[in-house]
Amino acid sequence: METSVYRFIFRYSLRQQVVLLILTLLSFPFLYASLDLPKQIVNNAIGGKNIPNNILGYPVDQIGYLMVLSGAFLALVLINGWFKYKINTYKGRLGERMLRRLRYELYARILRFPLPRFRRVSSGELIPMITAEVEPLGGFIGDALAVPVFQGGTLLVYIAFIFMQDPILGGAAVALYPFQGWLIPRLQRTVNQLGKQRVRAMRQISDRIGETVSGVQEIHAHGTAAWHLADISHRLGDVYDIRFEIYQRKFFIKFLNNFINQLTPFFFYAIGGWLVIHGSLSFGALVAVLAAYKDLAAPWKELLDWYQQKEDNRIKYEQVVEQFHLPDLLDETLVAAPPPPDTPGDPAAPPPRLTGTLSFTAVTLADDGATPVLEGVTADIRLDRHTAIVGTGTGRDEMAQLIARLLLPTSGQIRWNGQDFTRLPESVTGRRIAYVGPQPHLFAASLYENLLYGLRRPPPDSGAPADSHARHRRTESLAAGNTVLEPDGDWIDYAAAGCDGPESLETRVTALLRTVHLDDDVYAMGLNQTIDPDQRPDIAARVLAARQAVETLLTANPKLGRLVERFDPNRFNTNASVAENLLFGTPVGPTFAIDALAANDYVLYVLDKAGISRSFLEVGHQVAETMVELFSGLPPGHEFFERFSFISFADLPAFQAILAQVTKDGLDRLDGEARTRLMTLPFRLVPARHRLGLLTPEKEANLLAARRLFAQNLPADLRPAVEFFDPRRYNTAATIQDNILFGKLVYGQPQAQTRVSAMMAEVVERMDLRDCIITVGLNHPVGIAGSRLSGAQRQKAAIARALLKNPDLLVLSEATAGLDPRTQARIHAGIHENRRNRGLVWVVQQPAMAKNLDDVLVMKSGRIVEKGSYDTLNKDGTLFHELMRAD
């Protein structure tokens, strides 16, 4: 990568810079003409001097001449504008392309960082480098050549003009330029140093912010927010000082420059005047020189601005790029090159199989001169056998990562069937080796995408697309040196998973979920997902069939029937909220959200029409009274507010005021806002749960009537805001679980939840719906770094992800350590089954696990001290035996 910004600019944009320059120079005559023309219009056309008789053979009078010149002026204005527009767009496009290239290059370099590098550089530092720090470069690159050449050229022309008028005055005009040219870079150097400091200080701040975000739990757990505030305040103070210093110096340079510029006219007046008085210089010449000098100031100022900007960008570039220049950067060909094909000439052929033996010879792994983590490791790992790594001290996980080709040895050799293992590209190792560490990472996507992650292979480049927009995107990618592969193409290598397409892959994934004991979890996730019945009509149909089956079961078995109150269009559901009873559906979006109902015009209209507005308000008043009575004695923040109250602690005083007003003036005199507040409360009532006895059978009947009115009069534009409960239709807005149950759990039934879940599981199993629901559950978003899954779930998902790509060698590093013993046993059995006749290297958390593997390597403090089979090692006197006993 180019070490200086100008090398970068010239290497990738020399041609464009020249074009830009030519365009700029071409625009110059037009600019000049547009300045000159007004003089002609005023002096000749309006003043009536030198009017030609004809133009291009057409005779003209004065008015005609004026019109022609004015028309020419308008044309010049247009041409100038057009030039400016074209030049600026060209500059902008060039700058953005170069910026894109730079960012892409920097990102590509992150992917080539050796892994230990990430212990020293945080994402908090890397992110602003690629995003914010290089941003100003985009604006500068278009000016990099054109501005100095153009402004410098203008300056030279003016200077030449002055010299032609009078060499002495010319000399006087430029006399101070050498001094300025010497002084300003010197002053600028300090500013540059400060600029560097500022960048470093800002990076540390980003690093601290990143640390705060990842360690926020500890901050709260230890109550150390004050320290972090002090720390950040101190750092912001540093940045403030630096920036203020920069301002002072920058403006001082400007001041000095201005002063020196004004110094020269002083000489002109003094010396030039003296010369004129003595008659050795004509008066006209002095005036001309003075005017010319005034014109000098503009390009000179532009040049100075440009110089400061250039220095700024030069430093930014260097400071960013130096962070990405590592001596031990991974070879580009290892990371991104296509695999060497099995059969030459066929790039689509799968990479070579990883069989045979992996030989370690005197392998040492050290981190920056510290005590080596691994030292002098010599071992043969047979890739058709299962090898356990056990031991004490450091180095076991590193050993696993060396075998998985994630780390490269500091010294020593790793050879695969005689070939240098460290030169094998990732297109081979990534396909043939799978590594699962103790804390695997999941990406913020659906669980399914995470499981398929290991199958991602670049799709074959299909060449230029037909669609013009896509073709444009492709041209731009090429112009900026980016890859032309599109991320939304089909990246999945179905063959690697032993599948022939999306359907069989889904089946395979579902089977693997059982292997890693994740199927129950994903089933539960699936029950709580919604699906679009238009996209999955098969699932929707089966869910409706399951709903039917559940209904049959509930009717046939009163013991179960007692647990669920189903949605019946003609009955009030006492286990559902008043809101659900009125809507008789699931709200879609915020329009009919439970807390928005009391302010919704249509809902108020329906209540009015049903004649229950007044009684609704009364119920709201009663609820408010009860809530205030129950909860006003509790301290703020008491968990009961969150769990039970209809009114938050913060809102209590407002409701107390409303109640007092009602006592004084009655319910009818309430203002609109207070009314809305009271009207909100009844919607949340679930009669069977809250048992407040506020809804009489008569009120329930009225609400049923309101339910009908609501559905009948619903305007078309509100129709999408609610998904009605319809016994025969799939409810798009409700979860699969709610769709199957089509009702509410009855409050006050012992273990209703457990028993209903069991009943549903049985129905789902019987209807052959379980795998469908698991498929839906796979859409569950796992959250940032998998944070919406439990640790055990992440671990299981990572194992499934590794198994799915059918690697020749599976490397596990305490990958099941976080699971409970029963799950471990089940998953271990599944792994052994999967790995039959295929390679497995396993850093086991308990020595006893080595019993089921062929070979055992025993490590102690980064060295291999014993190797052999489980039986040969498990004898008195060996470290392995000692470890077994200690366990």
Site of interaction with another protein (CB under 8 A):
559, 626, 629-631, 633, 640, 643-644, 690-693, 747-750
Q: Looking at beta carbons only, is 107 or 644 nearer to another protein? A: 644
Q: Looking at beta carbons only, is 410 or 575 nearer to another protein? A: 575
| Bridge partners, 357 (sequence order) | 382
Pairwise CA distance, residues 488 & 495, whole Å = 19
Q: Looking at beta carbons only, is 625 or 771 nearer to another protein? A: 625
Least CB distance to another protein at residue 652 (A)? 14
Q: Looking at beta carbons only, is 327 or 693 nearer to another protein? A: 693
Could you give the angle at the alpha carbon of 328 between the alpha carbons of 322 and 331, nearest 5°? 105
Residue type, 198: R
Helix pair 167-174, 225-267: axis angle to 10 deg: 170
Least CB distance to another protein at residue 576 (A)? 17
**The pair of three-digit structure tokens given for residue 401, joined into one six-digit string:** 């990562």
Q: What is the 3-state secondary structure (H, E, C) of 449-475?
A: HHHHHHHECCCCCCCCCCCHHHHHHHH
Give the three-class secondary structure for 860: strand
Least CB distance to another protein at residue 519 (A)? 30
Q: Looking at beta carbons only, is 34 or 622 nearer to another protein? A: 622
Q: Looking at beta carbons only, is 344 or 748 nearer to another protein? A: 748
Least CB distance to another protein at residue 694 (A)? 8
Q: Looking at beta carbons only, is 369 or 558 nearer to another protein? A: 558
Residue tagged 């470290």 (tokens): 879
Least CB distance to another protein at residue 744 (A)? 15
Question: Which 8-state DSSP code applies to residue 571?
Answer: S
What does the chain come to in residues? Answer: 887
**The pair of three-digit structure tokens given for residue 666, joined into one six-digit string:** 């009655």
Sheet holding 411-416, edge to edge: 374-382, 357-365, 411-416, 419-420
Q: Looking at beta carbons only, is 118 or 644 nearer to another protein? A: 644
Question: For 478-502, b where at least 16 C-beta lie within 10 A, e where not — what string?
Answer: ebbebeeebeeeeebbbebbebeee
Residue type, 166: D
Least CB distance to another protein at residue 577 (A)? 16
Helix pair 283-323, 167-174: axis angle to 10 deg: 30
The alpha carbon dihedral of 807, 812, 818, 824 has a sign of positive
Pairwise CA distance, residues 422 & 407, whole Å = 9
Q: Looking at beta carbons only, is 352 or 561 nearer to another protein? A: 561
| Bridge partners, 781 (sequence order) | 446
Least CB distance to another protein at residue 629 (A)? 5
Q: Looking at beta carbons only, is 662 or 746 nearer to another protein? A: 746
Pairwise CA distance, residues 266 & 284, whole Å = 18
Q: Looking at beta carbons only, is 93 or 638 nearer to another protein? A: 638
Least CB distance to another protein at residue 767 (A)? 29
Provide the strand spans (E) within 367-472. 374-382, 386-392, 411-416, 419-420, 433-436
Q: Looking at beta carbons only, is 627 or 815 nearer to another protein? A: 627
Pairwise CA distance, residues 790 & 592, whole Å = 34
How is 727-792 classified by DSSP, letter by letter? TTS--TTS-HHHHHH-EEEPTT-TTHHHHHHHHHHHHHHHTT-HHHHHHHHTT-B--GGGTTS-HH
Least CB distance to another protein at residue 639 (A)? 9
Least CB distance to another protein at residue 452 (A)? 43
Q: Looking at beta carbons only, is 223 or 693 nearer to another protein? A: 693
Instruction: Mark residue 829 as left, alpha or beta (left: phi above 0; alpha: psi -120 to 50; beta: remaining).
Output: alpha
Contact indicator for 407, 401 with CB cutoff of 8 Å: yes
Contact indicator for 128, 202 with CB cutoff of 8 Å: yes
How is 303-362 classified by DSSP, letter by letter? HHHHHHHHHHHHHHHHHHHHHT--TTPPPHHHHHSPPPPSSTT-TTSPPPP--SEEEEEE
Q: Looking at beta carbons only, is 141 or 578 nearer to another protein? A: 578
Least CB distance to another protein at residue 626 (A)? 8
Least CB distance to another protein at residue 738 (A)? 22
Strands 809-813 and 433-436: parallel
Q: Looking at beta carbons only, is 463 or 697 nearer to another protein? A: 697
Q: Looking at beta carbons only, is 111 or 758 nearer to another protein? A: 758
Least CB distance to another protein at residue 702 (A)? 19
Pairwise CA distance, residues 841 & 434, whole Å = 10
Least CB distance to another protein at residue 614 (A)? 22
CB atoms within 10 A of CB 815: 27
Could you give the angle at the alpha carbon of 138 between the alpha carbons of 136 and 143, nearest 5°? 100
Strands 839-843 and 809-813: parallel
Q: Looking at beta carbons only, is 122 or 749 nearer to another protein? A: 749
Least CB distance to another protein at residue 595 (A)? 21
Could you give the angle at the alpha carbon of 451 between the alpha carbons of 848 and 819, nearest 5°? 30
Least CB distance to another protein at residue 821 (A)? 22
Least CB distance to another protein at residue 642 (A)? 12
| Bridge partners, 810 (sequence order) | 434, 840
Q: Looking at beta carbons only, is 269 or 640 nearer to another protein? A: 640
Least CB distance to another protein at residue 651 (A)? 18
Contact indicator for 524, 777 with CB cutoff of 8 Å: yes
